[in-house]
């Protein structure tokens, strides 16, 4: 019997069915050890030696592997076929050797790009050793990230309070987002006009032509600058005679793109399905690891972390056969299509993402998948099929039109296209092509060269230039890939880090840098410019690729980096905070000093009239304050407008609304660094309440303030239990609560107006949606999918914060973890730890081992698990 180690329980469950009784497949649940999050885990002075730490959950799983090895013939490491997968196998082997669990038993490394029976059995018959250059590349990357973060982040904390951390790739990605925001702020709109004519042929067919030149001068986009110019041209065309000078029809071909890589899949899933990068990878992971297809278990797609664009020859042949059956033989090109990879390192450029079996049509497998899985599988299937289909035949027609009015003349152009043969477009259209719906896509009527055209109408239209758009997750990933920043396995994790650190927020799917994110970027650009340069970061990525290709020694790369980096950090330790603030005031002018409505100097304090505004640093981060402090106490949140900062008073000066009728204490509305709030009384015992979303300082009065300060409000006793129902405003909005059960209500106003009858109805509706345990079970915030042993895994919001639920097991999320960002692997780890500590398991379910909790106090040796980014 051989022991086989893979990353996940889902993968283990699928592979176990293929291999049979001669193998025992166990899951490592990602990495089994990591660098402890403390100083000294990487020691440059000791030839970059590293300390690794195993957490308690990983220690238990390694113990299971050790136990299984006692009666085995050998060990087979079958983790994923990339750098991270190679590193997991190396870590497992290192720990097992330290525990002397291997002895003289053979150790083999196998890799497969798809989890199908054929692919797995083929891999088992072609084992190899661990690829040490790939492991070296992992070690170098892990050490670089650790040294960058643990060396630079403390400098940030000292010089820029409120900053969370810096990261080798994350800081450069944040710079991209911040620089784009600065571009938008600097952008000055320009007015311009366009002129178009609605014309008619002798056969009474209408079409539109656009003005391209006047009196022989070609018009640029911004040449018609105002309504007066546009009006003069319109007057000339209103009296002109129109004639088709030439008609040219050109046949063109549009070729399909290659199958998906990691980044192009994330971009397409964002554009067409509305998925975030992390959601795309979560769903793709499930499709890869194996699905129950009505008695058969198989992976539906190949490995999803890849920068390769080529498909295996047998897959190309299978795609061509499917195209002939589904679309017809005319859609099959004479020769297979081959695509060239842009990846600089062949060892990390695997096969493109494709279906494992092209005969599994999306409509046939939809019944076995949830909605997101079905949509993503269909996208992957269509793109891969389209990549081997015939080109689309398109005829593009251009009509040049002369307009003559006496001595004046103008030229107009009408363009259109028609698809003569749809080719690959019959299977897949890129989302960017769908958005490109200008006049070129219109079909023109029959127009003959030399014929006269009748004028129906001349239109003029005003426009203004637009600033560059903010990045979405998809466009940021595309830009990072173009610049060579990061690699397929890091994109989703980098974006998640920026959100978790609250450096960016997402509104309408666009990335908006928070004030603290822009502060960090400006600080690094001013004092560590080399380490947020795009070329430097891309160059370091190339060196890491060369390590994995065996062309560079990993410790040599670390020495080169560390010598310069340590010198840069050491040279800034004595930098005064005032120097930092002066530099940031200049770099972030539009953010720190937004324009005043009265056109005055935005750096002059509007409260005292003599002080100069500047960035200040407080315990909780940066804010804008007056140089005349403490005589002038004006402050403003960074990024806030002047008028917003003065609503209701002079900066931090409270606006008195009246007195509490029962305590006779003063009630005031104030502006704090975390937003406006109301306060009753003074000192530590004063009661405070933040203004709810949608409420403004200007709109606050005595009555509203009293209502806010009275929360939570007693609604009345529940008719069945006799216990009080209360209403309040919490972390996730307005709610009512009774006997430990919570239910959301529609609006803030409901908190103050809801009566006992409606409250009882709302609570009953909430409880009817889920089983009752003690109080009511909160509704799921997020569905993560099914546990490997059956049963749904969900994220819920409870009385004491968000938690993961599976059956009777509830596991609280770590402090600061965004419930929306929880992955299946993280949830499995939390559930396993909780189930192990409480011996709580779902009835009739097998015991599962899972991952990742804080390091065990007596785990040997000390190691900390880090989940492989999913």
CA dist., res. 247 & res. 180, Å (int): 42
Looking at residue 441, what is its pLDDT?
57
Q: How many residues does the chain have?
A: 870
Q: For strands 772-773 and 775-776, give the pairing.
A: antiparallel
- Classify residue 338 by its DSSP letter: -
The per-residue pLDDT of the chain, averaged, comes to 84
Is the model's pLDDT at 221 over the cut of 90?
A: yes
> What residues have CB less than 8 Å from 136, skipping those under 6 apart?
547, 548, 553, 554
CA dist., res. 243 & res. 337, Å (int): 45
Contact indicator for 727, 770 with CB cutoff of 8 Å: no
Local confidence band at 184 (pLDDT 50, 70, 90 cut-offs): very high
Q: How many CB atoms lie within 10 A of CB 460?
A: 17
Looking at residue 408, what is its pLDDT?
94
Burial group, residue 240, by CB count within 10 angstroms (0-12, 13-18, 19+)? buried
For residues 154-179, average pLDDT: 85
Looking at residue 686, what is its pLDDT?
85
CA dist., res. 472 & res. 511, Å (int): 6
For residues 351-375, average pLDDT: 93
Looking at residue 800, what is its pLDDT?
66
* Rounded-to-10 torsion of CA 34, 36, 37, 40: -120
Structure tokens at 392: 């689309």
Of 208, 241, 207, 198, residue with least CA distance to 403:
241
> What residues have CB less than 8 Å from 717, skipping those under 6 apart?
723, 724, 725, 756
Q: Which residue has the higher pLDDT, 852 or 485?
A: 485
- Classify residue 78 by its DSSP letter: -
Local confidence band at 639 (pLDDT 50, 70, 90 cut-offs): low
Q: Which residue has the higher pLDDT, 400 or 861?
A: 400
Looking at residue 648, what is its pLDDT?
32
CA dist., res. 83 & res. 489, Å (int): 9
For residues 32-45, average pLDDT: 90
* Strands in 707-755 per DSSP E: 713-717, 724-730, 733-738, 741-744
Looking at residue 176, what is its pLDDT?
96
Of 473, 503, 558, residue with least CA distance to 167:
503
Looking at residue 861, what is its pLDDT?
38
Looking at residue 91, what is its pLDDT?
95
Structure tokens at 297: 């278990």
CA dist., res. 687 & res. 157, Å (int): 31
Structure tokens at 328: 């017809």
- Decide if 303 is catalytic: yes
Contact indicator for 733, 744 with CB cutoff of 8 Å: yes
- Classify residue 869 by its DSSP letter: P
For residues 319-348, average pLDDT: 82
CA dist., res. 102 & res. 90, Å (int): 13
Percent of the chain with pLDDT over 90: 46
Contact indicator for 675, 648 with CB cutoff of 8 Å: no
3-state helix, strand, coil in the chain (%, to 5): 35, 25, 40
The secondary structure element, H or E, covering residue 837 is helix 824-838
- Classify residue 423 by its DSSP letter: G
The secondary structure element, H or E, covering residue 675 is strand 675-680
* Rounded-to-10 torsion of CA 788, 789, 795, 797: -170
Query: How does pLDDT run across 236-263, given as a tens digit for each residue?
Result: 999 999 999 999 999 999 999 999 999 9
CA dist., res. 647 & res. 644, Å (int): 5
Of the given ranges (279-293, 363-377, 557-571, 779-793), which has the lowest mean pLDDT? 779-793
Query: How does pLDDT run across 828-843, given as a tens digit for each residue?
Result: 888 887 876 554 333 3
The secondary structure element, H or E, covering residue 575 is none
Is the model's pLDDT at 283 over the cut of 90?
A: yes
Structure tokens at 702: 């005595």
Of 150, 168, 120, 103, residue with least CA distance to 18:
120
Contact indicator for 784, 827 with CB cutoff of 8 Å: yes
Is the model's pLDDT at 637 over the cut of 70?
A: yes
Query: How does pLDDT run across 121-135, given as a tens digit for each residue?
Result: 999 999 999 999 999
**In the sheet where 613-618 sits, what is the strand order?**
613-618, 621-626, 635-637
CA dist., res. 88 & res. 867, Å (int): 10
Looking at residue 677, what is its pLDDT?
87
C-alpha distances in angstroms, 278 versus 256, 387, 507, 864, 870? 27, 25, 17, 23, 7
> What residues have CB less than 8 Å from 567, skipping those under 6 apart?
none
Q: How many CB atoms lie within 10 A of CB 669?
A: 25
Local confidence band at 440 (pLDDT 50, 70, 90 cut-offs): low
Q: How many CB atoms lie within 10 A of CB 332?
A: 19
Of 342, 349, 344, residue with least CA distance to 552:
344
Looking at residue 796, what is its pLDDT?
82
C-alpha distances in angstroms, 162 versus 177, 523, 616, 760, 845? 19, 13, 12, 43, 46
Please pick, among 303, 377, 491, 742, the residue that the annotation labels catalytic: 303
Query: How does pLDDT run across 652-670, given as a tens digit for each residue?
Result: 467 888 888 878 888 998 8
Looking at residue 697, what is its pLDDT?
76
For residues 200-221, average pLDDT: 94
Looking at residue 383, what is its pLDDT?
97
Q: For strands 2-6 and 23-27, give the pairing.
A: parallel
SS3 string, 600-667, reads CCCCECCCCCCCEEEEEEECCEEEEEECCCCCCCCEEECCCCHHHHHCCCCCCCCEEEEECCCCCCEE
Q: Coil, helix or strand for 1?
A: coil
Report CA 780 to chain centroid distance, whole Å. Answer: 22
CA dist., res. 270 & res. 508, Å (int): 12
CA dist., res. 777 & res. 797, Å (int): 9
CA dist., res. 252 & res. 287, Å (int): 37
Looking at residue 345, what is its pLDDT?
44
For residues 777-799, average pLDDT: 73
Query: How does pLDDT run across 64-97, given as a tens digit for each residue?
Result: 999 999 989 999 999 999 888 999 999 999 999 9
Is the model's pLDDT at 380 over the cut of 60?
A: yes
Query: How does pLDDT run across 802-836, given as a tens digit for each residue?
Result: 888 888 888 888 876 777 678 877 888 888 878 76
Of 253, 282, 280, residue with least CA distance to 264:
280
């Amino acid at each position: 019997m051989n022991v086989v180690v893979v990353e996940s329980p889902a993968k283990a469950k699928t592979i176990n069915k293929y291999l049979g009784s001669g193998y025992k497949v166990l899951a490592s649940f990602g990495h089994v050890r990591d660098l402890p999050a403390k100083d000294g885990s990487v020691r440059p002075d000791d030839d970059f030696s590293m300390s690794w730490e195993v957490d308690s959950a990983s220690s238990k799983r390694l113990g299971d592997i050790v136990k299984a090895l006692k009666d085995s013939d050998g060990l087979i490491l079958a983790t994923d076929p990339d750098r991270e997968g190679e590193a997991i196998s190396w870590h497992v082997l290192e720990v097992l050797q330290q525990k002397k669990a291997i002895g003289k038993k053979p150790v083999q490394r196998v890799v497969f790009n798809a989890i199908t029976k054929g692919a797995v059995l083929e891999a088992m018959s072609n084992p190899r050793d661990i690829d040490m250059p790939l492991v070296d590349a992992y070690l170098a990357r892990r050490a670089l990230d650790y040294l960058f973060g643990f060396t630079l982040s403390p400098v940030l904390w000292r010089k820029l309070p409120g900053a969370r951390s810096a990261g080798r790739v994350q800081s450069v990605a944040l710079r991209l987002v911040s620089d784009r925001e600065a571009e938008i702020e600097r952008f000055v709109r320009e007015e311009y006009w366009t002129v178009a004519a609605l014309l008619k042929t002798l056969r009474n067919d209408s079409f539109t032509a656009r003005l391209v030149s006047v009196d022989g001068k070609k018009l640029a986009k911004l040449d018609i600058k105002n309504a007066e110019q546009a009006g003069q041209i319109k007057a000339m065309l209103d009296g002109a005679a129109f004639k088709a000078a030439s008609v040219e029809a050109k046949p063109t071909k549009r070729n399909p793109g290659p199958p998906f890589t990691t980044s192009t899949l994330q971009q397409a899933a964002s554009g067409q399905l509305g998925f975030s990068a992390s959601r795309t990878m979560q769903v793709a992971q499930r499709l890869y690891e194996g699905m129950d297809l009505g008695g058969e278990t198989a992976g539906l797609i190949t490995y999803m972390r890849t920068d390769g664009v080529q498909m295996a020859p047998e897959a190309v042949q299978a795609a061509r056969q499917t195209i002939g059956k589904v679309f017809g033989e005319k859609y099959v090109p004479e020769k297979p299509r081959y695509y060239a990879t842009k990846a600089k390192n062949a060892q990390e450029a695997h096969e493109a993402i494709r279906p494992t079996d092209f005969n599994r049509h999306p409509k046939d497998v939809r019944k076995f998948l949830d909605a997101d899985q079905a949509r993503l599988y269909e996208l992957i299937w269509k793109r891969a099929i389209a990549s081997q289909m015939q080109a689309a035949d398109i005829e593009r027609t251009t009509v040049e039109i002369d307009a003559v009015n006496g001595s004046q003349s103008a030229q107009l152009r009408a363009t259109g296209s028609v698809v003569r043969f749809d080719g690959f477009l019959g299977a897949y259209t890129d989302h960017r092509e769908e958005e490109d719906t200008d006049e070129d896509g219109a079909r023109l009527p029959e127009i003959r060269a030399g014929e006269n055209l009748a004028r129906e109408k001349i239109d003029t239209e005003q426009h203004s230039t637009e600033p560059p758009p903010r990045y979405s997750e998809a466009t940021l990933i595309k830009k990072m890939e173009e610049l060579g920043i990061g690699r397929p396995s890091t994109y989703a994790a980098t974006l998640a880090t920026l959100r978790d650190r609250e450096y960016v927020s997402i509104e309408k799917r666009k990335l908006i840098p928070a004030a603290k994110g822009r502060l960090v970027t400006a600080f690094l650009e001013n004092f560590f410019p080399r380490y947020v340069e795009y070329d430097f970061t891309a160059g370091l990525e190339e060196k890491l690729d060369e390590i994995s290709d065996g062309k560079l020694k990993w410790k040599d790369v670390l020495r080169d980096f560390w010598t310069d980096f340590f010198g840069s950090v050491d040279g800034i330790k004595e930098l005064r905070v005032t120097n930092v603030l002066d530099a940031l005031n200049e770099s972030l002018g539009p953010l720190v000093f937004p324009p005043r409505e009265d056109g005055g100097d935005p750096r002059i304090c509007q409260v005292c009239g003599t002080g100069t505004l500047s960035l200040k640093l407080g315990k909780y981060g940066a804010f804008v304050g007056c140089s005349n402090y403490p005589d002038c106490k004006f402050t403003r949140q960074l990024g806030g407008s002047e008028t917003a900062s003065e609503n209701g008073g002079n900066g931090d000066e409270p606006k008195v609304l009246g007195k509490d009728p029962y305590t006779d204490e003063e009630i005031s509305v104030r502006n704090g660094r975390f937003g406006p709030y109301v306060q009753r009384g003074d000192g530590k015992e004063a009661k405070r309440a933040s203004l709810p979303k949608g409420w403004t300082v200007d709109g606050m009065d005595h009555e509203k303030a009293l209502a806010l300060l009275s929360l939570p409000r007693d609604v009345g006793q529940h008719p069945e239990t006799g216990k009080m129902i209360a209403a309040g405003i919490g972390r996730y909005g307005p709610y009512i609560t009774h006997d430990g059960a919570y239910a959301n209500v529609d609006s803030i106003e409901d908190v103050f107006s809801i009566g006992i009858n409606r409250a009882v109805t709302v609570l009953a509706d909430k409880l009817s949606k889920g089983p009752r345990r003690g109080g009511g079970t909160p509704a799921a915030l997020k569905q993560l999918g099914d546990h490997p042993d059956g049963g749904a895994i969900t994220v819920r919001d409870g009385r004491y914060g968000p938690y993961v639920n599976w059956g009777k097991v509830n596991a609280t999320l770590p402090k600061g973890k965004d419930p929306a960002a929880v992955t299946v692997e993280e949830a499995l780890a939390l559930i396993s730890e909780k189930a192990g500590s409480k011996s709580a398991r779902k009835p009739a379910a097998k015991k599962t081992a899972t991952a990742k909790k804080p390091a065990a106090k007596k785990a040997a040796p000390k190691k900390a698990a880090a989940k492989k980014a999913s």
